[in-house]
Amino acid sequence: MDFNENNATEAVLNSFSKIKDERLKKIMSSIIRNLHQVVKEVEPTEEEWIKAIMFLTKTGQKCDDRRQEFILLSDVLGVSMLLDSINNRKSKNETETTVLGPFHTTSPMIENGTNIANFVKGENCVVSGIITDNNNIPIPGASLEVWQSGPDGLYDVQKEDRVVDLRATLLSLDDGSYLFRTVKPQYYPIPVDGPVGDLLKNLDRHPYRPAHIHFMVKAKGFKDLITHVFIDGDKYLESDTVFAVKQSLIRKLEKNIDENKQEYFKLNFDIIMEKN
């Protein structure tokens, strides 16, 4: 039988009939049905299809050990947060999750109270909180990994010297508390020098993310948590380009004066873990 627009979808689906992996078969069947439906609905020209292929090619070419353009694409299309929502449904009062982002990498271990901002200048900020389960029982020894961009809007891995900065791993204390020093987070644009940046421009969308700090928390007997803390009052909270803001993760910055009469901001972010 000739392959045509009327039988194309069924023909491809039939070719999957011998797939033994049922999960793979389900995924590929759904992809084919939906992809074919898009092509039938939009009826792209061959030139437009080549442009789409070249876009994906350029996206792959922009990926390296310092940057993941496909994660960025997933983020700006809302796929990352949709996937996160499906895989992290909360039934109680546990801290909500958000996207990992494209700039996570390993970080050095530090003691509580250490300043993680060693090579940037900004407004001083002290971040602290308590890690508990959903019954408010403290979790000692939880691994808390944090990372953020600098006042210039760049993460350390984006810079040429690649000096590790504004990222660290620390352990919660016996009472479940943690504390580290840093600089006040600022809003910043995601990288726009690649195909994802071109896409946002063509879609008339801005590239900005509201000010935030990334958290990855792990503790024995609990599900791993990937989340952010967002800063109340940021002008991009309502239009985060990666759709990651959740009301429960927004916190206020409080101004304080230290013993040397120097002004700093205090940010409290308590974390509630979900049991396995």
* pTM attached to this predicted model: 0.89
- pLDDT tens for each residue of 86-118: 999 887 899 999 999 888 999 999 999 999 999
pLDDT-derived band of residue 259, with 50, 70 and 90 as boundaries?
confident
Per the model's pLDDT, the better-predicted residue between 235 and 64 turns out to be 235
* Percent of residues, the chain, with pLDDT higher than 70: 100
Asked whether the beta carbons of 108 and 169 are under 8 A apart, the reply is yes
What domains, with CATH codes, occur in the chain?
A: 8-63 (no CATH), 73-272 (2.60.130.10)
Q: What confidence tens digit (pLDDT) does each residue in 186-216 have?
A: 999 999 999 999 999 999 999 999 999 999 9
Residue 258's pLDDT band, with cuts at 50, 70 and 90, is: confident
- pLDDT at position 67 is 84
At residue 32, does pLDDT exceed 90? Answer: yes
216-240 average pLDDT score: 97
